[in-house]
């Protein structure tokens, strides 16, 4: 394959930074470390069974095969978490990290300097799909640490991470699909990069990604329909009614069970994704996690002209109450998400 004149991720980041003459380059360096972690995970995923990282994680001395979510960890959940930590703890760019796979914030070891950013991640999203060779990904969110953390270099606490999604400095995901892609926003639209496996570089292949405002595609786990709240049931029923129903058009349905892959389909061609709050388990107000799933994907959607919501309010406006807080999530084509919000606000 001839060397094209496409930008690399590094070039894209440097050109973005030129818009802020005073910027130190710390954010760019951090994003490149995250991208390297994603490349390493992409390799582990690509080797599949040959790499010995498939299947459930083996219990460690502390019985650590069940994570804080109550989920059985896959070996690759654990490996990917480790890759994110090792690639990022040393750099002096981070004040702390938090992950789906760790109950408490990760403190930067004393042997390394501390920096001004917080990195929050879902190291492997869709991990129930890993053993059946269906796309998975990694999702990340970058926040600025509170000023007193930056000044004092103290250990981070859960409270330091509880910032609304609107404050994210950058967010993105890597998708380990037929090709590995990195979708990124540093707050100036969304750019997509495809991993060139020959060069080991993410190359800019999708600039200024936009989510169409209208769609005929929706994604929801319909096995939960008996637990849905009336506005969600109404919306889905109307889609299912097709061309002769109130929507006057036929809809198609998709469910991959890797949110990151659903988000990618929607960024590429529109659609609406719902994992709404439901009545299945009153102790869980939704399935997906606010800080490392809903917020970064919400940031990308909004930056691409789409919309992300709890069903009732914009996701990015929610003040988090816990590191692993779950939340109802609806995102995608703007007009559909607004319609779903309208149904939630209209009296039944
Ligand atoms: P994770 O693998 O990081 O725990 O996240 C799984 C999530 C998400 O990717 C997906 O949309 C959803 O769980 C799938 O839920 P169902 O099992 O209800 O389909
Ligand atoms: Mn999980
Ligand atoms: Mn996930
Ligand atoms: Mn995960």
Output the residue whose Cα is nearest ligand 1's atom 17.
257
- Name the pLDDT band for 316 (thresholds 50, 70, 90): very high
Supply 329's token pair. 């999530």
pLDDT at 63 over 60: no
Q: Determine whether the shortest distance from the Cβ of 329 to ligand 1 is under 6 A.
A: no
The position carrying tokens 């995901």 is: 173
Tell me what the pLDDT averaged over the chain comes to.
95
Q: How far apart are CA 81 and CA 101, in angstroms?
A: 7
Map tokens 């039944």 to a residue: 348
Mean predicted confidence (pLDDT) in 145-160: 98
124 is in an annotated binding site: yes
Q: Assess whether pLDDT exceeds 60 at residue 201.
A: yes
Contacts of 40 (CB under 8 A, 6+ apart): 83, 87
Give the pLDDT of residue 58: 74
Report H helices in the chain. 9-17, 26-47, 75-88, 147-152, 158-161, 230-241, 259-269, 295-303, 334-345
With cut-offs at 50, 70 and 90, classify the pLDDT of residue 2: low
Q: Which atom of ligand 1 is nearest to the CA of 69?
A: 4
Helix (H, G, I), strand (E, B) or coil at 7: coil
Is residue 60 over pLDDT 70?
no
Work out whether strand 94-99 and strand 106-107 pair parallel, antiparallel, or are unpaired.
antiparallel
Q: For residues 54-73, give the mean pLDDT.
A: 77
Pocket test for ligand 1, best of 122, 124, 125 (most atoms within 8 A of CB): 125
Query: Has residue 46 got a pLDDT over 60?
Result: yes
In this prediction, residues 266-271 reach a mean pLDDT of: 98
Residue 81: nearest ligand to its CA?
4
- CA 125–ligand 3 middle distance (angstroms): 4
Name the band, by pLDDT with cuts 50, 70 and 90, for residue 7. very high
The number of angstroms, rounded, from the C-alpha of 62 to the middle of its chain's C-alpha atoms is: 28
Q: For 126-154, what is the mean pLDDT?
A: 97
Atom of ligand 1 nearest to the CA of 129: 2
State mean pLDDT over 124-146.
96
Q: What is the pLDDT of residues 165-195, one digit of tens each?
A: 999 999 999 999 999 999 999 999 999 999 9
Distance, in Å, from the CA atom of 61 to the CA atom of 88, rounded to the nearest integer, reads: 26
**Residue 71 carries which DSSP code?**
P
Other CB atoms within 10 A of residue 109 CB: 10
Q: Over range 4-23, report the average pLDDT.
A: 94
**pLDDT band with cut points at 50, 70 and 90 for residue 218:** very high
Give one DSSP letter per residue of 197-236, joined into a string: TTTTEEEEEE-S----S--SEEE--GGGGGGB-HHHHHHH
Q: What is the pLDDT of residue 69?
A: 87
Contact between 121 and 140 (Cβ < 8 Å): yes
Tell me the C-alpha distance between 182 and 205, whole Å: 10
In degrees rounded to 5, what are phi and psi of residue 173? Answer: -150, 155
The percent of residues above 70 in pLDDT, for the chain, comes to 97
d(CA 338, CA 177): 30
pLDDT at 62 over 60: no
Residue nearest atom 18 in ligand 1 by C-alpha distance: 221
The dihedral built from the CA positions of residue 31, 32, 37 and 39, taken in this order, carries a sign that is positive
> What average pLDDT does the segment 341-347 reach?
93
């Amino acid at each position: 394959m001839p060397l094209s004149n496409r930008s690399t991720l590094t070039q894209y980041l440097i050109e973005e930074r030129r818009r802020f003459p005073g910027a130190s380059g710390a954010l760019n360096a951090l994003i490149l470390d995250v991208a390297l972690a994603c490349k390493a995970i992409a390799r582990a995923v690509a080797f599949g069974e040959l790499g010995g990282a498939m299947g459930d994680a083996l219990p460690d001395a502390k019985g650590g095969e069940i994570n804080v979510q109550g989920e059985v960890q896959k070996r690759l959940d654990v490996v990917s978490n480790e890759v994110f930590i090792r690639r990022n703890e040393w750099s002096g760019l981070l004040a702390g990290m938090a992950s789906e796979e760790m109950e408490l914030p990760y403190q930067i070891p004393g042997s390394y300097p501390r920096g001004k950013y917080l990195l929050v991640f879902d190291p492997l999203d869709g991990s129930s799909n890993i053993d059946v060779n269906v796309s998975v990904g990694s999702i990340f969110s970058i926040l600025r640490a509170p000023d007193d953390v930056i000044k004092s270099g103290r250990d981070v606490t859960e409270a330091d991470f509880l910032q609304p999604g609107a404050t994210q400095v950058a967010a993105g995901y890597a998708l380990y699909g037929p090709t590995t892609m990195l979708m990124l926003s540093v707050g100036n639209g969304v750019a997509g990069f495809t991993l060139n496996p020959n060069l080991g570089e993410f190359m800019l292949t999708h600039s200024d990604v936009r989510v169409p405002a209208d769609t005929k595609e929706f994604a929801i786990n319909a096995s939960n329909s008996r637990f849905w709240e009336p506005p969600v049931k109404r919306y889905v029923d109307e889609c299912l009614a097709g061309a002769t129903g109130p929507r006057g058009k036929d809809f198609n349905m998709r469910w991959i069970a890797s949110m990151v892959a659903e988000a990618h389909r929607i960024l590429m061609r529109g659609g609406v994704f719902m994992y709404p709050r439901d009545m299945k388990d009153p102790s869980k107000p939704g399935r997906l996690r606010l800080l490392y799933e809903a917020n970064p994907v919400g940031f990308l959607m909004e930056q691409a002209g789409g919309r992300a919501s709890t069903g009732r309010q914009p996701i990015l406006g929610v003040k988090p109450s816990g590191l692993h807080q779950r939340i109802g999530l609806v995102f995608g084509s703007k007009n559909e998400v607004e319609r779903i919000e309208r149904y939630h606000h209209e009296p039944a």
